[in-house]
Structure 1
């Protein structure tokens, strides 16, 4: 593999992050790159293919690279440059790789690096036998296997019909300047090595740059791998991004009239369709109040479903400070940005969602703000806008990371819309201690913030009944004629 090179330009990172075009930005490294600082590398790199073994033995940087990459959330695969001229030599190379891996987890395949000129002279049939010998041993050990080669090898030297594996193909110009040259993109393959002249923060010297078009999921018990497209992330993130794009330009209303129109009845009274819909889901909407957090909750519910949106933002989604507290308590609060994360500003005075991350900037979409120049935070500004901030902007408190690789739970939203708000009977709290009022049925859901607990003998309006995930009954109740929440039915007696 080539290891000479220079700058990867910021504009390239802008265009190839996972959320923008569903490509994974990757590098491949070996002892030539020394000992990278993987915490820094992980800020921009999503996949690392590590040289696992060289002609003289284990790559001297492999253990450092494997530990550093995996501990910092970088997806990991490995490669082995082949010097085999016979099937027996290929099998020995496979044994050497497996001995180093020692059943450890990989996210990406073991790639067999086929580019040695002395192999090219052997002919297609011999090369196919050598490759199969190596790759069969790898797959029998439970790993996904693939082939790395350049475009000449792929088109002219390898028998690709016989070697039916995932291909990672190198293709870049003679005057390689570190940028993506779309005209050179291979027509096949799950990965494209587009440059040998990149630099990445955390790595001293040049590094090969790659785009990968396939994500891999591994069975952690046996390391068996199945190649799958990046569809789960794509589906949820693209759904979220499309929702935000459709809302951009929405203006708050002077009254509760024409809430669904983007610009009609515009005013400064903080009336929105977002508060109306949140109320319809059985949650405490804040009609007529600042709505930046409520807008993000609305986006989250339509992306993930009500229950998961509550898990992301807590019962105080209408209050940015409460969202921060909830994230810190649940381990989702971070100082570094991530695509799709919620970003909190000015000690909890405003919230937006990250739509793009570069080395120096974040791009966002937010509600209840205004169009401004870079780094200008506007809270209670009156519309949905796209914004941009420096990553070191002094007004950024931190980020709430959200997992877009999960599955949506739209059923909870549909159920919420069916819940009645009409009183069926008056109930009295019979719990010996305080009774928690939850944002959804089940003890794993956060408490509502406006009225988080009830005391023994308090009276509530019981409006509906719903089962939690363990088939226990919960009442949907109204408190003080205006607050709605869920309480365990066991602790409510009919008055």
Structure 2
């Protein structure tokens, strides 16, 4: 049986001024998406403070960039600015959300707009980051060509303009219905969260919780995931990632430590974990239904990992 659970979060910029991230964490915020670079090319004025805050509080985070680039050269510049900022701050693994809202881009047409977004996507992914698209429902349906992208979408649709508290639940009938994987729903721009003095955008992301069957004569020091894990998924449980890493180490596709002596059993789903997962899936075709390994640790992959460890 599968049950869907939501996690509540926010996206912020210097428009929210100085944020008390301790209060934000205590209020129940489970993730944050931080603006990275302003339209001028300068770093968001509160980015460094916000990054330090989410890191100190252990709040999972991604970043976003509101795009103005109307030419390939401008898109390259924007993407490289984001990459340079993340690298300078030691951010190794996160998703960069490409925010598509500006009216100058709307006028370009689907074909040209698709080509421009792909310019940014190539640079972001080449730097080792995941790439996703943020837009509202109107852009998704009428401006973009969603079929041209295999990435996840973060979609805005506001059921109400009224002020909402973090714990308020939007009416599910307004949830965006899209054909791609929906990362999350930005459902309010008038949210109120303790620790933030201004209104703030409120977001939901979704987890499909699965009922796992406990295997016989088998034990692991970590709890088995109850939803699909993959690199770039925000707010996935550290213990679940450690479960995956423990199994990958056991079956020999992931080394226990890096060449620098850092443990690979760290609960962070980064490039090394993803590469090891691909290696395991490549040897176990039953774990995915796509042409190539899907890089996701879902129910079939977990079952194969358990069987492989039990056979040792």
User: What per-residue deviation string (whole Å, max 9, x for no partner) do you get for residues 111-166 of structure 1?
Assistant: 01000111111110111111111111000100000000000000111011112221
Q: CA RMSD in A?
A: 3.0
Contact in 2 for aligned 1:151/1:169 (Cα 8 Å) = yes
Instruction: Describe the shift of the 1:89–1:183 C-alpha distance in structure 2 as closer, same or farther (beyond 3 A).
Output: same
| Structure ID, larger Rg | 1
Match of 1:98, SS?
Answer: helix
Match of 1:142, SS?
Answer: coil
Aligned-pair CA distance for 1:170: 0.2
Aligned-pair CA distance for 1:45: 0.9
Specify the alignment match of 1:197 in structure 2: 190
Contact in 2 for aligned 1:77/1:106 (Cα 8 Å) = no
Which one has more relative contact order, counting CA pairs under 8 Å at least 6 apart? 2
TM-score by length of 1: 0.41
Aligned-pair CA distance for 1:91: 0.6
The whole-number CA distance in structure 1 between the counterparts of 2:220 and 2:99 is 46
Specify the alignment match of 1:119 in structure 2: 105
Instruction: Describe the shift of the 1:47–1:143 C-alpha distance in structure 2 as closer, same or farther (beyond 3 A).
Output: same
Aligned equivalent of 1:34, options 8, 13, 17: 17
Aligned equivalent of 2:32, options 48, 64, 68: 48
Specify the alignment match of 1:25 in structure 2: 8
Contact in 1 for aligned 2:92/2:128 (Cα 8 Å) = no
Contact in 2 for aligned 1:76/1:106 (Cα 8 Å) = no
Contact in 2 for aligned 1:76/1:107 (Cα 8 Å) = no
Please state which structure has a larger fraction of its residues in strand.
Answer: 1
Specify the alignment match of 1:211 in structure 2: 204
Aligned-pair CA distance for 1:21: 4.4
The whole-number CA distance in structure 1 between the counterparts of 2:162 and 2:149 is 30
Which ranges of structure 2 fall in alignment gaps of 5 or more residues?
223-237, 245-312
The whole-number CA distance in structure 2 between the counterparts of 1:34 and 1:405 is 34
Aligned residues: 219
Which ranges of structure 1 fall in alignment gaps of 5 or more residues?
1-19, 214-229, 241-300, 310-401, 409-495
User: What per-residue deviation string (whole Å, max 9, x for no partner) do you get for residues 38-93 of structure 1?
Assistant: 12212211110000000121001001111110221111100000111111111110
The question of 1:90 aligning with 2:80 is answered no
Instruction: Describe the shift of the 1:35–1:21 C-alpha distance in structure 2 as closer, same or farther (beyond 3 A).
Output: farther
The question of 1:61 aligning with 2:46 is answered yes
TM-score by length of 2: 0.63
The whole-number CA distance in structure 2 between the counterparts of 1:307 and 1:166 is 32
The whole-number CA distance in structure 2 between the counterparts of 1:307 and 1:95 is 42
The whole-number CA distance in structure 1 between the counterparts of 2:149 and 2:212 is 37
